[in-house]
Chain A
Amino acid sequence: MNFELTNEQTMVRDMVRDFAQQEVAPKAQELDRSAHFPEETFHKMGEMGLLGIPFPEKYGGAGADNISYMLAVKEIGRACGGTGLSYAAAVSLGASPIYYYGTEAQKEKYLVPITSGETLGAFALTEPNAGSDAGGTETKAILKDGHYVINGEKCWTTNAQYSKTVIVTAVTGRDSQGKNIISALIVPTDAKGFTIRNPYDKMGVRASNTCELILENVRVPAENLLGDPKSGFKQFLFTLDGGRISIAALAIGIAEGAYEKAKRYAQERKQFGKRIVNFQAIQFKLADMAMEIELALNMVLKAAWLKDNRKPFTKESAYAKLFASEMATRTCNQAIQIHGGYGYMREYGVERMLRDAKLMEIGEGTSEIQRLVIARQIGCDSL
């Protein structure tokens, strides 16, 4: 048992922290206000190799581990939740499925441009009528003359407008029990009949690009099928398990940002002739925040370690995501409370963090779904 980060992990964390504090944090407030996607930041992140952290060098990656990747997500999130979300989605949802399930040719063609920062990646799963119940997917892909013809609608897909390809899940048939067979297809965003918009006015993570996808008779060659045609569902469950760890890391980053602001403010603010950090009411809040952040981080590191060591991590990633996201909301909420009236003002930046944190309880599986996953993992179904 060794709780120490390796030299490389520490270096990655410090490097990303430096970068995030200098290049990302100063823009966070304005990006939130304007809901502007920081394309320039992603170019820089690509140049630094951040978009390919956990993938081997032969696919344009850095060949680092998932722990390093989680530390990077946390640091970006600490500076800007929206930028952090697009970052986590590009790596965990855009690139990962191609890495895990793609053929060599697909990796060459679709993974390398993402890891090298040439384009982002996106994963379109959610639909207007299929949220937590992904099995209820309505988008259909019909194989005809060597091409899939795709029709349907996707919503809340992160990064699609800045991606050259999107992985789209679609029903490709029915199994012997009459259940939908869901497959994943790599769809070029410039394909005919493929419309991508971002019509949403979000509560938080506003710097992140969130898209609506409409597919009308979009044709892609059969070779664009990603992985096993019958196991699309299993594949995206695995993808989401990985994505969850990154959302947990992002939640921790946001919480750390809020905690640090609250701590600094409490050390400066004077009331009743004392700095408010001297009051136990404030100390207890800060103590809880610090403790919960550390607990969440330990869970994230464990889940990432399990993934790095090719052990099952479904339960642990759900633990991490559930605890970290709810912790982040609590922490940001208390950070505002410590700031009092100032915290309620945009200028102080903590109210943004609460709005950003709230998404962590919803995106990539709501807290309710995480509890469901955990319940299944601990065997409640068979009791």
Chain B
Amino acid sequence: MNIYVLMKRTFDTEEKIIIRDGEVDKEGAEFIINPYDEYAIEEAIVLREAHGGEVTVITVGDEDAQKELRTALAMGADKAVLINLEELEGPDHFTISEAISSWLADKDVDIILGGNVAVDDGAGQVASRVAEKLGINQVTTITELTIEDETVKIERDVEGDIEKIETTLPLLVTCQQGLNEPRYPSLPGIMKAKKKPLANVGVNELEMNEKELTAKTKTIDRFLPPPKAKGKILEGDIDQQVNELVHLLKNEAKVI
């Protein structure tokens, strides 16, 4: 089975994030594999263990992303591909998905797994766009996956409910929390990762035209949410408090 994983290197949103001149300060940030993509990597390895084949992890990023690719290799992936779009100006979800699709175009794909969303921008765009571009089935936010021959049985999370779906390969899925428990890379895995192939692919190696290389969106600014203002505790008896609250909601917050 030819298994592909789309992985993103993101900053750890649980650590402190500093924004300087509209960019996340890379010096201070901790970088990790997008947690939803970890589910995708784990599921890919589980699939390979059950059905054989090969797991290839793909990311779009700069040289630094090699670290996360090596981690995926240490977890058990077989190959890694770094698509480097550094030459492009402000690649967005569109250009990134075009680049991935273009690389995948001549590959014999059985299944592609990605995270449901990335924790940094929460867009959930790239994987779906890739499926669309490649013209294959896609199911998002999956929490269970069983493959028997060409038949794929899936459970997906729909706002807390479960939807059961049957579909066929080739297929793209995006992984939701609950699908599995990602493994820790083992020590021998870390040592072996060094010897596994990691390919660097530049823009010029992809067959992409001008239109596909041009981003459709522009990032105007990045900023942190305003710090939480101090709360106000109303005083007096209940009637007074209710009056005060209504007054504040009307005149200060202007929401009613």
Contact = CB atoms under 8 A, between A and B. Distances in A.
B61 interface: no
Interface in B45-73: 66-67, 70-71
A12 interface: yes
A62 B74 CA distance: 12
Interface in A47-68: 47-50, 52-53, 57, 62-64
A85 to B, nearest CB: 20
A11 B190 contact: yes
The A interface, classified by DSSP as helix, strand, loop or mixed, is: helix
Given A7-B194, A8-B194, A11-B74, A63 B188 contact: yes
A51 to B, nearest CB: 9
A303 to B, nearest CB: 21
Contacts of B191: 8, 57, 62-64
Interface residues of B, number: 15
B82 to A, nearest CB: 14
A378 interface: no
A48 B66 CA distance: 22
Contact of B67 (A7, A12, A48): A7
Given A7-B67, A7-B194, A8-B194, A62 B184 contact: no
Contacts of B188: 49, 57, 62-63
A64 B194 CA distance: 11
Contacts of A14: 71
A15 interface: yes
A268 interface: no
B45 to A, nearest CB: 15
B124 interface: no
A287 to B, nearest CB: 19
Contact of A49 (B67, B70, B186, B194): B186
B190 A8 contact: yes
Nearest to A54: B187
B18 to A, nearest CB: 16
Given A8-B190, A8-B191, A8-B194, A19 B184 contact: yes
Interface string A1-38: 00000011011101100110000000000000000000
B21 to A, nearest CB: 26
Given A8-B194, A62-B191, A47 B70 contact: no
A7 B70 CA distance: 8
Nearest to B74: A11
Contacts of A10: 67
Interface in A121-152: none
A49 B76 CA distance: 14
A49 B192 CA distance: 12
B184 A48 contact: yes
A241 B185 CA distance: 30
Name which of A15, A18, A52, A53 has the most chain B CB atoms within 10 A of its CB.
A15
Nearest to B73: A11
A18 B184 contact: yes
A64 B192 CA distance: 10
A290 to B, nearest CB: 16
A371 B193 CA distance: 42
Interface in B166-215: 184-191, 193-194
Contacts of A49: 186-189
Most buried by A among B67, B71, B184, B185: B184
A62 B187 contact: yes
B190 A47 contact: no
Contacts of B193: 8, 11
B67 to A, nearest CB: 6
Contacts of A62: 186-188, 190-191
Contacts of A12: 187, 190
A64 B187 contact: yes
Contacts of A18: 184
Given A8-B191, A8-B194, A63-B191, A15 B67 contact: no
Of B67, B71, B185, B187, most A-chain CB atoms within 10 Å: B187
A50 B187 contact: yes
Contacts of B71: 11, 14-15
A15 B185 contact: yes
Nearest to A53: B187
A14 B191 CA distance: 14
A10 B185 CA distance: 12
Contacts of B66: 7
Nearest to B30: A14
Contacts of B185: 11, 15
Contacts of B70: 7, 11
B250 to A, nearest CB: 34
Interface string B72-102: 0010000000000000000000000000000
A18 B187 CA distance: 13
28 contacts: A7-B67, A7-B70, A8-B193, A8-B194, A11-B74, A11-B193, A12-B187, A12-B190, A15-B74, A15-B184, A15-B185, A15-B187, A19-B184, A48-B186, A48-B187, A49-B186, A49-B187, A49-B188, A50-B187, A52-B187, A53-B187, A57-B188, A57-B191, A62-B187, A62-B188, A62-B190, A62-B191, A64-B191
The 7 closest A-B pairs by CB, nearest first: A49-B187, A62-B187, A49-B186, A62-B188, A49-B188, A11-B190, A48-B186
Interface of B: 66-67, 70-71, 74, 184-191, 193-194
Interface of A: 7-8, 10-12, 14-15, 18-19, 47-50, 52-53, 57, 62-64
Given A12-B190, A64-B187, 7 more contacts: A8-B191, A8-B193, A8-B194, A49-B186, A49-B188, A62-B188, A63-B188
